[in-house]
Amino acid sequence: MQFLLAAVNAKYIHTNPAIYSLRAYAGKGLAPYIALAEYTINNREEEILGDLYKRHPDVIGFSCYIWNIATIRELVREVAKVLPGTDLWLGGPEVSYNAGKLLEELPMVKGIMAGEGEETFKELLSFYLEGRGQDTRGKYRKLEEIPGLVLRQGKGKAREPVEMDALPFPYGDLKGFQNKIIYYETSRGCPFQCSYCLSGAGRKVRFRSLEIVKRELQHFLDGRVPQVKLTDRTFNCSHTHAMEIWRYIRAHDNGETNFHFEVAADRIDEEQLSLLNSLRPGLVQLEIGVQSTNEETLKAINRNTDIGKIAAVTEKIRQGRNIHIHLDLIAGLPFEGYGSFGNSFNDVYAMRPNQLQLGFLKVLKGTPIRESAESYGIVYQDKPPYEVLYTKWISYGEILKLKGIEEMVELYYNSGQFTHTLPVLEGMFKSPFSLFESLACFYEEKGYFVNTPARSYRYQVLLDFAIGIAPDKEELYRELLTFDFYLRENAKSRPVFSPSLSAWREEIWQFYQREEREPEYLKAYRQYYARQTMKMTHMDVFFYPVWEEGKEDRQIRRDGPGFVLFDYGNRDALTGEPGVKVVM
């Protein structure tokens, strides 16, 4: 007897915490009857089908979300053909609402595990084993008696939420998680009721005991896991809970592991700020959902957000230069037209996050906003991810324009490749939103949305765009882009857009020879010869002080050249940028 739990993840680096939690909760006695299989939406369906067939499980349970349900719908139809004796079950947030209708559409599916699945899965597995003569002390003799199941004959008794401390730790063995993100929860539920989200249903938050959490966090730290992403919907909704965990990871920091938290910035007080600013650069990253700065919009989606407080807190965290900050916006919300969204974008951009996520409203099953969609004129895709197409306030054409702007933000802001060029370029436009809007139009005209330029060529594309806007500043933008280029990588070949260094070769060589004899700037390289050090660092020449922080200062041409050293052996722990020194 084998019950296979199958997950189809969005990316290879992702893991599916649900199937690991189900297996762990079933216990050691039932573990031999459980197998796990993880795929990605990038796998061809025939590849997944072939692998499932070779496993020949007696039962398959698919973990369903908006990003994989289309794939799973097709899979179950084909699995039923090649494994006609295998029972097929579905579970997860995408199938927990309107489950009866889904069973009508997929007659080959035996049933659906609705809501939290740990106890339901354990009892379902026991039911199968009892039917095959295994004594598991199962409670139920009929499927319809098991709470949490939806069958063709109707929905059974609702399943009560499990106690958080009753959930076994699913990651006892860290083998197989190398180079992958581990998802971990210290709580379930959310105290807020944002109308587009399912997490706040019932408003009750259940926490895992801090003693247990600390023990499990230590397991990740001992295993030197690269990143642990906490799935708590509002991690700092409990001040005490958040502070205890942040204190623990500070005290037990292994210098490698990064922890990702989703927080409400306007609930961060001075005590939390002080602690966060004391953390090792790169230990923590924070995701903050702003969604909109339009007060009417925030009221409509049940978000009591203090935008001023978010901006102030974000600035204080950013000044610490030790925490990666990720701010989110959602397009397509009630009362948010194209112009209003542009204002929200500019407000959040002014907070200077490390990443600005421009997302689009997903009208999820079971959410209040789906129930109100008609009154708001929200029209959305019939199929997952149920993304907004247009509303009373924003047209489909404007949504398409925002899609182009989203890509520009990803390529040119979130990539971190143009940290010195963008601030200067912004000065040529009335707002940051206008800059990315204009850049998206440039991409459209050049056909780059169809044939996306390679990462290295994006510098040249941005130069062409900048020259088109300000042809008299070509020299400045060439130097800015050269500076940004070498901030990202120690390239062996010089990019074509960069000014030539041929006139300065001898002075650069003399600098390295002096450093070999009597190191002043490169003391960490004293054991190397000059030619070796040149390969591990880079020196460039600039007539504009592109290394300055102020965007206005960068635009004043110097009388003579400035020699700038990029030290790749001394990288910033947060940004990855090399140390930069003006040496001559």
Q: For residues 62 and 72, is the Cβ–Cβ distance under 8 A?
A: yes
Concatenating the DSSP letter of every residue in 557-570 gives --SS-EEEEEEEEE
pLDDT in tens, 524-548: 999 999 999 999 999 999 999 999 8
pLDDT of residue 554: 86
What is the token pair recorded at 432? 């940051």
Edge-to-edge strand order for the sheet containing 182-184?
Answer: 182-184, 227-230, 258-263, 284-291, 324-331, 355-360
pLDDT band at residue 155 using 50, 70 and 90 as cut-offs: confident
DSSP state of 231: -
pLDDT in tens, 448-498: 998 888 888 999 999 999 999 999 999 999 999 999 999 999 998 999 999
Q: Tell me the average pLDDT across 258-287.
A: 96
Interatomic CA distance for residues 354 and 537, integer angstroms: 25
H or E stretch covering 481? helix 474-488
Of 387, 390, 367, nearest to 378 by C-alpha is: 390
Per the DSSP assignment, residues forming a β-bridge with 89 are 61, 111
Interatomic CA distance for residues 137 and 333, integer angstroms: 50
Q: Which residues make Cβ contacts (< 8 Å) with residue 222, sequence separation at least 6?
A: 254
Peptide linkage before 385 cis (omega within 30 of 0) = yes
Residues of the chain above pLDDT 70, percent? 99
pLDDT of residue 60: 98
pLDDT of residue 455: 86
pLDDT of residue 251: 98
Q: For residues 316 and 351, is the Cβ–Cβ distance under 8 A?
A: no
Q: Tell me how long the chain is.
A: 584
pLDDT of residue 107: 96
User: 291: alpha, beta or left, given left = phi > 0 and alpha = psi -120 to 50?
Assistant: left
C-alpha separations of 166 from 21, 163, 204, 232 in Å = 11, 5, 17, 17
Interatomic CA distance for residues 381 and 332, integer angstroms: 13
Phi/psi of residue 280, each to 5°?
-60, 135
Q: Which residues make Cβ contacts (< 8 Å) with residue 46, sequence separation at least 6?
A: none
Q: Tell me the average pLDDT across 422-443.
A: 97
pLDDT in tens, 17-56: 999 999 999 999 999 999 999 999 999 999 999 999 999 9
Per the DSSP assignment, residues forming a β-bridge with 61 are 5, 89
pLDDT of residue 201: 62
Sign of the C-alpha dihedral computed for residues 398, 404, 408 and 410 taken in this order: positive
Residue 459: half-sphere exposure toward Cβ, Cα within 13 Å: 24
pLDDT band at residue 261 using 50, 70 and 90 as cut-offs: very high
Across the chain, what does the average pLDDT equal? Answer: 94
Interatomic CA distance for residues 154 and 12, integer angstroms: 37
pLDDT band at residue 88 using 50, 70 and 90 as cut-offs: very high
For 459-486, give one letter per residue: b (16+ CB within 10 A) or e.
bebbbebbeeeeeebeebbbbbbbbbbb
Q: Is the pLDDT of residue 203 over 70?
A: no
Q: Tell me the average pLDDT across 140-144.
A: 85
pLDDT band at residue 199 using 50, 70 and 90 as cut-offs: confident
Q: Tell me the average pLDDT across 111-124.
A: 95
Sign of the C-alpha dihedral computed for residues 312, 318, 319 and 322 taken in this order: positive
Q: Which residues make Cβ contacts (< 8 Å) with residue 132, sequence separation at least 6?
A: 1
Q: For residues 127 and 138, is the Cβ–Cβ distance under 8 A?
A: yes
Of 262, 250, 417, 240, nearest to 325 by C-alpha is: 262
SS3 per residue for 374-436: HHHCCEECCCCCCEEEECCCCCHHHHHHHHHHHHHHHHHHHCCCCCCHHHHHHCCCCCHHHHH
Q: Tell me the average pLDDT across 419-443.
A: 97
CA 525 to chain centre: 37
pLDDT of residue 65: 96
pLDDT of residue 551: 72
Helices and strands of the chain, counted as H and E runs: 20, 20
Q: Which residues make Cβ contacts (< 8 Å) with residue 74, sequence separation at least 6?
A: 45
Q: Tell me the average pLDDT across 184-204.
A: 85
Interatomic CA distance for residues 143 and 141, integer angstroms: 7
pLDDT of residue 307: 95
pLDDT of residue 196: 93
SS3 per residue for 361-372: CECCCCCHHHHC
Q: Which of these ranges, 99-113, 144-158, 213-227, 532-546, has the smallest mean pLDDT?
A: 144-158
Interatomic CA distance for residues 31 and 19, integer angstroms: 12
